[in-house]
Structure 1
Amino acid sequence: MTNDFDIYERRESAARSYCRSFPTTFVKAQGSEMTDADGNTYIDFLAGCSSLNYGHNDPDMKSALIDHITADGIAHGLDMHTDAKAAFLTAYEEKILKPRGMDYKIMMTGPTGTNAVEAAMKLARKVTGRRNIISFTNGFHGMTMGSLSLTGNIGKRNGAGGGHLGDVTHLPYEHSMGEGVDTLQFIEAMLNNSSSGVDAPAAFIFEPVQGEGGLNAASDEWMQGVAKLAKEHGALLIVDDIQSGCGRTGTYFAFEKAGIEPDMITQAKSLSGFGLPFAALLIKPEHDIWKPAEHNGTFRGNTHAFVTGRVAIEKFWSDNAFQDELAAKSTVLTTALQEIADLIPGARLKGRGLMQGVDVGSGELASKICARAFEKGLIIETSGADDEVVKVLAALTIKDETFRKGLGLLLDATRDVLETNKIAAE
């Protein structure tokens, strides 16, 4: 196979995106490295947009999946009982929920994150009898019509072609109105004003760290404040932990340290551990009022993902060792990104844990840095309303040597772009 892109131009939709930033054909991946058709190897700082938190082709997950397939294990079972599902649910209960004192029903919603968000919206409205859902500026919750109504980015909303995106009130996320503005106070004032035009909410939904919105990270106090407002106004609290979850910010759930108890939690991305399609909605038992088949989908629950997801939980979340490793890697990342930010006037670090980046102040500059990094052998993308953030989403399992090498490539790419821009300006 060679890098012949004609077939994509002829047959694949213009909606494709990531391939435009990385114009090559990938044929192999292992750990935190990807290899293309010409034999070039790249360090992966995208990790399937946080769908590969444990890297490419983890050997233990791969082995378990191969054994399952070889033994003619169930590949597709709708929502029937299977040994693989029971094993996954048991591991999730024992290793994730019980150690955190959490009690949730787990709803298998469909193959991707937007399915979990749609189910959460639908259930919140069913439970409360209300329509309005409060979402936040710069939030991203999916691209289907319901979840898109929660999403703030105008470019993504335009994809609906003028379709109905109502029954949602967008209010300011923490610091979105400037460092000196208390957005919780603003939100409270809007909700308590009977003439504000904000209908009584069925739910609040937010991301603890806004993945596509520019790595804006909510403080524990802000998350606690939103939880308090939701309770006071009879609304449910939905935490979208799709991109920020599964260890990405340093703990399994990104909101753990805030001590809040969401009514619902959306999960997807790295839930399967292997990059397989798998999304779920965690629901407080008292809110699980669905009637049988009242919400379903052909691919609700992916049996192959149950197999690999179980291994991921047992391998990485049976004790605190992995979480301790993430804290050390987070420090390495922060230090390296600060060195990059110091090169650019006004640049600043954003995010938390292994979900960090540098706001370089310009989408053009960020895109040039990422493009130059790819030329040097690093896969990395931008984030933010105007693509102004260079965003690092390396696998949580990345080897220290590979991590530091990739960060070095990013630093070199930044220097190259700044030097080119300097010469062009002279």
Structure 2
Amino acid sequence: MTELIKKNAQTKRSLNVFDRLESEVRSYCRSFQTVFTKGSNAMLHDRNGKTYIDFFAGAGALNYGHNNPHIRTKLIDYLLEDGITHSLDMATDAKETFLLRFQETILKRRGLCYKVMFPGPTGTNSVESAFKIARKVTGRTNIVCFTNAFHGMSLGSLSATGNAFKRGGAGLPLSGTTFLPYDGYLGPLVDTTALLEKLLQDPGSGLDSPAAVIVETLQGEGGLAAASGKWLRSLERICRDNGILLIIDDVQMGCGRTGTFFSFESSGIQPDIVCLSKSIGGYGLPMALTLIKPEHDIWKPGEHNGTFRGNNLAFIAASEALRYWDDDRLAKQIRNHAEVIRDFLSRMASRYSDKIIEIRGKGMIQGLVFQQPEDASRLCKLLFERGVIMETSGPHDEVAKLMPPLTIEAEMLQKGLQKMESALVDMYTGIMPKAAMQMKG
């Protein structure tokens, strides 16, 4: 007990450094009150020697885990060979290797044809560039977006983000966008694409003719609402009929998170523009892509640029990460893990049916929607105390969201789920069911 008190005191002293010296804007460190020191795949370690199972994965930037050894070896070798690290948009061996591998492994195998743009190192850079090229191509300015969307924190992408708290941080009116209801927002019987089509057909609707429609196929920050394939195909048809560019924001849902490399693959659509970031960098390194159909790639040289768009370490890591998509082994593992997660969440939702409204999500991003929104935060807090990192999402933070690395070991996944079950028991009953106790033992 004395040792534990000492460690807690040490942690408080360490966190005081961040309290004193770092901006009040910091957020995740307020939820996860410790100082992390090491990470390996789905496991984190803190300064006190405590271990944590990572069901957060860097908000989706660590699909291939912490310190993936295959990727790390490539990075170390590259650095030891004096490989180029910073290059703006100059040609380098590292960029060439990535472009060729992305073309062969990802685009060609899916029958997709896109030019690859490196807009800057983060997801919001990709979204900003997508808006700019859509407006340039069409000569129009309005962007249609959807309720509970999240597209980034810079002004353009923030204007297409629904969250009132985040929008309030802009400090000025956000314009150039029109919000419409996402799939299911008005209930399961209402096809909200019909509303978009009606507004476009009616010259008295007040809807400015859009340059583009931007959509997440599954809303990560918005509460794990998912668009159906039928809804996405209808949205694509409406865009085609009206000369509107369709942008898919796959910043968080891409790179295998939903089960396929692109989240839209099962729907059969082919967006005009795709935004990728987070795990495209392979190792948690900053990197973003904007994929543009060749006929829309009408940029003038330097018309959109950025100092750090040539992150060659990310090119090296990304190229190695793409090897996971050379065959279907990772995809199979994602499906297996997703089924385990779904079965577990179904049991919890059934057991606590008066507390849990529904299960949402797909692949390896799923969660529980709580009747009382604060229960999602309570659960995440209890899990942190038990050694699991997990976050909430949704407009009221009502969803407890599981998002482990795609490469998490089956045993580690089960261990994390057992801890989650134990936390739910403590929240609602205080009595562990016999079957769960036997599993825990």
Q: Same fold (TM over 0.5)?
A: yes
Which of 321, 325, 331 is the matching residue for 2:339?
A: 331
Structural mapping, 1:205-284, within 5 Å: 205-284=214-293
Q: For 1:45, give the aligned amino acid.
A: F
Q: Larger deviation: 397-406 or 191-200?
A: 191-200
Which of 399, 413, 429 is the matching residue for 1:403?
A: 413
Q: For 2:362, give the aligned amino acid.
A: R
Q: Secondary structure of the equivalent of 1:13?
A: coil
1:22 aligns with 2:32: yes
> How much does 1:185 deviate?
1.5
Q: For residues 324-345 of structure 1, give each alpha carbon's deviation from its aligned partner in whole angstroms, at most 9, with x where no partner exists.
A: 1111111001001112212142
Q: For 1:32, give the aligned amino acid.
A: A
Measured in 1, the distance between the counterparts of 2:85 and 2:71 equals 16
Which of 393, 404, 413 is the matching residue for 1:394?
A: 404
Q: Secondary structure of the equivalent of 1:160?
A: coil
1:187 aligns with 2:196: yes
Which of 77, 98, 109 is the matching residue for 1:67?
A: 77
Q: Secondary structure of the equivalent of 1:27?
A: strand
How many residues in Structure 1 have an aligned counterpart in Structure 2? 418
1:77 aligns with 2:66: no
> How much does 1:84 deviate?
0.5
Alignment partner, residue 412 of structure 1:
422
Q: For residues 336-389 of structure 1, give each alpha carbon's deviation from its aligned partner in whole angstroms, at most 9, with x where no partner exists.
A: 111221214252100111111111123211000000011111000001000000
Which of 41, 44, 49 is the matching residue for 1:31?
A: 41
Measured in 2, the distance between the counterparts of 1:175 and 1:15 equals 33
> Runs (4+) of structure 1 moved beyond 3 Å?
none
Alpha-carbon contact 2:32-2:384 (below 8 Å) kept = yes
Query: TM-score, structure 2 length as denominator?
Result: 0.93
> How much does 1:411 deviate?
1.3
> How much does 1:419 deviate?
3.3
Structure 1 stretches lacking a partner, 5+ long: 421-426
> How much does 1:260 deviate?
0.6
Alignment partner, residue 118 of structure 1:
128
Measured in 2, the distance between the counterparts of 1:179 and 1:208 equals 16
Alpha-carbon contact 1:138-1:151 (below 8 Å) kept = yes
Measured in 1, the distance between the counterparts of 2:420 and 2:99 equals 40
Measured in 2, the distance between the counterparts of 1:407 and 1:190 equals 45
Measured in 2, the distance between the counterparts of 1:296 and 1:233 equals 30
Q: Secondary structure of the equivalent of 1:43?
A: strand
Q: Identical aligned pairs, as a percentage?
A: 49
1:170 aligns with 2:179: yes
Structure 2 stretches lacking a partner, 5+ long: 1-6, 431-441
Q: Secondary structure of the equivalent of 1:298?
A: coil
Measured in 1, the distance between the counterparts of 2:329 and 2:19 equals 46
Measured in 2, the distance between the counterparts of 1:144 and 1:128 equals 23
> How much does 1:35 deviate?
0.2
Q: Secondary structure of the equivalent of 1:358?
A: strand
Alignment partner, residue 436 of structure 2:
none
1:41 aligns with 2:67: no
1:8 aligns with 2:8: no
Alpha-carbon contact 1:245-1:252 (below 8 Å) kept = yes
> How much does 1:417 deviate?
1.4
Q: For residues 146-205 of structure 1, give each alpha carbon's deviation from its aligned partner in whole angstroms, at most 9, with x where no partner exists.
A: 0000000001000012x1311100000000111222212222122212111111010000
Alignment partner, residue 423 of structure 1:
none
Measured in 1, the distance between the counterparts of 2:267 and 2:189 equals 22
Alignment partner, residue 325 of structure 2:
317
Q: For 2:241, give the aligned amino acid.
A: E
Measured in 1, the distance between the counterparts of 2:343 and 2:334 equals 14
Which of 290, 297, 300 is the matching residue for 2:309?
A: 300
> How much does 1:50 deviate?
0.6
Alignment partner, residue 438 of structure 2:
none
Q: For 1:257, give the aligned amino acid.
A: S
Alpha-carbon contact 1:190-1:198 (below 8 Å) kept = yes
Alpha-carbon contact 2:255-2:280 (below 8 Å) kept = yes
Q: For 1:67, give the aligned amino acid.
A: D
Q: Larger deviation: 176-185 or 348-357?
A: 176-185
